[in-house]
A and B are shown apart, each in its own frame.
Chain A
Amino acid sequence: MRALGDLLRWLTDPVNWQGSHGIPVRVFEHIELSAISVAVALLIAMPIALYLGHTGRAGFVAINVANVGRALPSLALLAFGLVIAISLGLGLGFWPTVFALVPLAIPPILTNSYVAIREVDRDIVEAARGMGLSEGQILRAIEVPLGLPLMLAGIRTAAVNVVATATLGALVAGGALGRFSSTGSHYRSTTS
């Protein structure tokens, strides 16, 4: 009960709702970090998924390579992202976290979009081809609209994963909402 009382006191304290370290700023940082990570993952995964789904080439290999991202622990990805960001001179905080979150978002987007395109009824695709539609038109007018529900489900899964994992960014001096947890943890360990 004491913990809940502390939580309510902290949340209702006006000090925590203002300034550059307040809750609104941290929420905005969290949304910004997550949105950029999902956008980069979309830019990487979507063209590959559409191409592989439409042509049916090397899909099995690509999906399995992308799924390696699911097997890697988020902390390991964060350490990997930190090394990349420092070697590129991008510093701590934002970019190492983005580098860690992008591989996390790619597998659900790639897998769902690939399956969404592959699962479109081949008879419909063949009928469209028979009517003279080009491959690009088939993709845009037939396969993407019919596969849209599954594609959106993949993007949604990726977005929720990224929002939940962006908390780890605080471990590499990032902002976002993880900062509250890491600050609280440090405070507890130094005062007890």
Chain B
Amino acid sequence: MAGALLVALLAVATEVSFAALERATVPAGMRAIR
């Protein structure tokens, strides 16, 4: 269960860090609409 929790946390961290990367590299008017 601890392993699953750590993997889930890491997946969320990956998602958040890529979202931050997208925010940093793409101009505001060109971001993908969600």
Contact = CB atoms under 8 A, between A and B. Distances in A.
A6 to B, nearest CB: 8
B7 A30 contact: yes
Nearest to A9: B2
Given A149-B32, A181-B3, A163 B22 contact: no
Interface residues of A, number: 31
A7 B26 contact: no
B18 A159 contact: yes
Interface in A145-189: 146, 148-150, 152-153, 155-156, 159-160, 163-164, 166-167, 177-181, 184
A166 B3 CA distance: 12
B14 A160 contact: yes
Interface string B1-34: 1111111001100110011011001100011100
Interface of B is mostly: helix
B15 to A, nearest CB: 5
Nearest to A152: B22
A184 B1 contact: yes
A159 B10 CA distance: 11
Nearest to B5: A7
B25 A148 contact: yes
A26 B30 CA distance: 37
Contacts of A167: 3-4, 7
Contacts of B21: 152
A44 B2 CA distance: 34
A167 B14 CA distance: 15
B30 A146 contact: yes
A48 interface: no
Interface of B: 1-7, 10-11, 14-15, 18-19, 21-22, 25-26, 30-32
